[in-house]
Structure 1
Amino acid sequence: MRILIVIAHPLADSFTASVAATAKVALERNGHSVDLLDLYVEDFDPRLNERERSGYFDIPYDTTAVDGIVARLRAADGLILVFPQWWFNFPAILKGFFDRVFAPGVAFDHERSGGRILPRLTNIRLLWALTTTGSPWWVVQFYMGNPVRRLLKRGIAAFCAKDVSFRMISLHDMDRVTAEQRKAHLARIEKAVARI
């Protein structure tokens, strides 16, 4: 498979970067091709601009400003997102990635009669999220209702790809985990990704 790994963290030496590197090595060891897209390194602009928003219902929708990334997404069989959860949500740069790249004509089509959107990312068969969060698991799950998982699985995956294999692996309470717990989490990531 050709896997696009998207990283969203401003620090090159972050634990997020370690998770992405672990996933990349495990995938390549099993013969997969990996395209690593680090949104910060590539200086991705997350802001949906006036032209993009005003032409949102144009056919074809103009993706000129992000055509390079659109081509990488279209070339992929699988997508792995690696990011921290901040305030129970995506980092702004990753949200902007969805706003600008998961656009009409790329990730979905508008149904002509209005209302529904029709999945267009038929090439994506796997969508995984490898995340960290500073909150304990019970706060994320029970108090907040696991919003990132819901947005990814019920929103982005369901509306943009058909029959996609979805999985989310999170390290909770990130600010208090020990070095041993981080090491164990990386081993968990390696083991899970090796099954792809």
Structure 2
Amino acid sequence: MNVLIVFDHPYGASASENVPHQRSYSAALLASVMRGLTTKGHEIDLVDLHKDGFNPVMSSEELASWRQKTTIDPLVINYQQRLIAADHIIFIFPIWWEAMPALTKGFLDKVFAKGIVYEEIKPGRPFKCLLPNIKGVSLLTVMNTPDFFYRWIFGNPITKILFRGTFRKMGIRENLHWYNYTGMSNRSLDARVKYLDKTEQRFALL
């Protein structure tokens, strides 16, 4: 299976080791996911948005192109081709101000283009998905907000944006899974490692 991983953290994918001020639990999760996928022989296609220098801002020229169902940014074109080839998509990022970081939001805005990734059959109706191979989407997030507050007080904004407002709207309604890691900075090293081991095992079963 061809698994596309979209990773968003300023420290990059290499920041998975436990080095103070140079570490990212998001990157540690990425490493665990990749180990798990590798054990089953899945093909991994990693998009490291910060390393790629992805610009999340939609310019007026890009918006005009988007409305004409074309793309002018070569990196966005590359991302679209890789998205279309994917069997499964995994997003990994920290939650900031209850939502995804800017690069992931820009990835949705610019890469998920009408006429390329989805088609609007009729205004006000669900979209048609143009990703021919997609079988599911996994979301891994890291946050300091307690899980109870995020789910029941704030109302799960990230799943509303990414699942309900994006993939379900495109017609992908099954095999959407969210794995949330809260308060990792306050947990012991053993506890953090246990979560990483569990994540590796989970994605070895994908």
TM-score range, shorter chain: over 0.9
Aligned to 2:47: 37
Shift of 1:173: 1.8
Deviations 1:129-188 (A, max 9, x none): 011111111111111011102222212221235354110111112332221221111012
The 8 Å contact of residues 108 and 118 in structure 1, kept in 2 or not, is answered as yes
1:66-92 CA distances to partner (integer Å, 9 max, x unpaired)? 111111111111100011011110001
- Counterpart in the other structure of 2:20: none
1:10 is matched with 10
Asked if the contact 2:84/2:130 (under 8 Å) is kept, the reply is no
The aligned residue for residue 64 of structure 1 is 72
Report the counterpart of residue 188 of structure 2 in structure 1.
178
Q: 2:123 aligns with which of 100, 114, 118?
A: 114
Alignment match of 2:144 (pick from 113, 134, 137)? 134
Letter in 1 for 2:124: G
How far apart are the structure 2 equivalents of 1:30 and 1:23? 11
| Residue 160 (structure 2) aligns with | 150
Aligned length: 193
Q: Is the 8 A contact 1:129 1:168 kept in 2?
A: yes
Specify whether residues 56 and 115 from structure 1 end up closer, same or farther in structure 2 by C-alpha distance, changes over 3 A only. Answer: farther
| Counterpart Cα distance in 2 of 1:177 and 1:122 | 41
Q: Distance in 2 between matches of 1:67 and 1:159?
A: 22
TM-score normalised to the size of structure 1? Answer: 0.92
TM-score (norm 2): 0.88
Q: 1:25: Cα distance to partner?
A: 1.4
Give CA deviations for 1:33-58 in whole Å, capped at 9, x if unaligned. 00011000111111111122234432
Runs of 4+ that moved beyond 4 A? none
Alpha-carbon separation, structure 1, partners of 2:65 and 2:6: 26
Aligned partner of 1:33: which letter? E
Give the fraction of aligned pairs with identical amino acids, expressed as a percent.
31
CA RMSD of aligned residues (A): 1.5
Gaps in structure 1 of 5+ consecutive residues: none
Structure 2 unaligned runs (5+)?
Answer: 16-23
Equivalent position of 1:19 in the other structure: 29
